[in-house]
Amino acid sequence: ALPVVAVVGRPNVGKSTLVNRIIGRREAVVEDVPGVTRDRVTYEASWGGRDFTLVDTGGWDPDATGMAARIAEQARVAVELADVILFVVDATVGVTDADEAVARVLQRCGKPVILAANKVDDQRTELEAHALWSLGLGEPRPVSALHGRSSGDLLDAVLEAL
Ligand code: GDP
Ligand code: MG
């Protein structure tokens, strides 16, 4: 079986956009209204000559009570099935309660976690990615899923962890 990379994070941070960027097609559902992604949609992907399975997680109603707890639960499921976890945070918003709930799960998971600081569309926004060090998951890697900025560097880091 191919190694599995699971993309986790709260709604609207750009998980599905990043998945589309990685697979090079528009298959993952991107919505301005968050929460439309179905649970755990899997795709075949490859980078640097290596094939892997990419799992897009999501499907929560962001207005539901207890959202942070449900996202943390989804992160636990992703950790079970994945070899590497790609944790996506919106660097332009900064750390939210839901991000922290996911981070707590991932800190203890014993599997490699790559922290993507998404929506870093330009040089100026790169400074905001530094705030994500507070999640306790190591170096935040700035990326723009929408424009592709630094997505190759992010994928290199994912493959190094595989
Ligand atoms: P998901 O809920 O985490 O899967 O997030 P989506 O991929 O559906 O994206 C949510 C919104 O964020 C959409 O409007 C995207 O176009 C936007 N978005 C995603 N990545 C980026 C990015 O790198 N930069 C900017 N500016 N917007 C982004
Ligand atoms: Mg999505």
Residues by chain with Cβ below 5 Å of ion ligand 2 = 15-16, 37, 58
Q: Sketch the domain layout of the chain as residue ranges.
A: 4-161
pTM of the model: 0.93
pLDDT on residue 120:
98
> Are 158 and 149 in contact, with CB atoms under 8 Å apart?
no
138 CB contacts (<8 Å, ≥6 apart)? Answer: 113, 115
Q: What is the pLDDT of residues 44-79, one digit of tens each?
A: 999 999 999 999 887 555 566 777 788 888 888 888
Chain-centroid distance, C-alpha 50: 19
Pocket of ligand 1 (CB under 6 A): 9, 11-17, 30-32, 34, 37, 58, 118-119, 121, 144-146
pLDDT of 147 higher than 70: yes
- List, in sequence order, the alpha helices (H) in 25-147: 67-81, 97-107, 126-129
Nearest ligand, measured from the Cα of 92: 1
In the predicted structure, residue 4 carries a pLDDT above the cut 90: yes
Give the whole-angstrom CA distance, residue 62 versus residue 151.
Answer: 26
Any idea which ligand is nearest the CA of 34?
1
Interval 113-136: pLDDT, tens:
999 999 999 999 999 999 999 999
Cα gap 85→88, rounded to integer Å: 9
Location of structure tokens 């956009």: 17
Q: Would strands 50-56 and 84-90 be described as parallel, antiparallel, or unpaired?
A: unpaired
Q: What per-residue confidence (pLDDT) applies to 63?
A: 62
| Span from the CA of 137 to the centroid of ligand 2 (angstroms) | 22
pLDDT for 41:
83
ipTM metric: 0.99
| Residue from 21, 102, 146 whose mutation best tests the ligand 1 pocket (most atoms within 8 A of CB) | 146
Looking at domain 4-161, does it have CATH number 3.40.50.300? Answer: yes
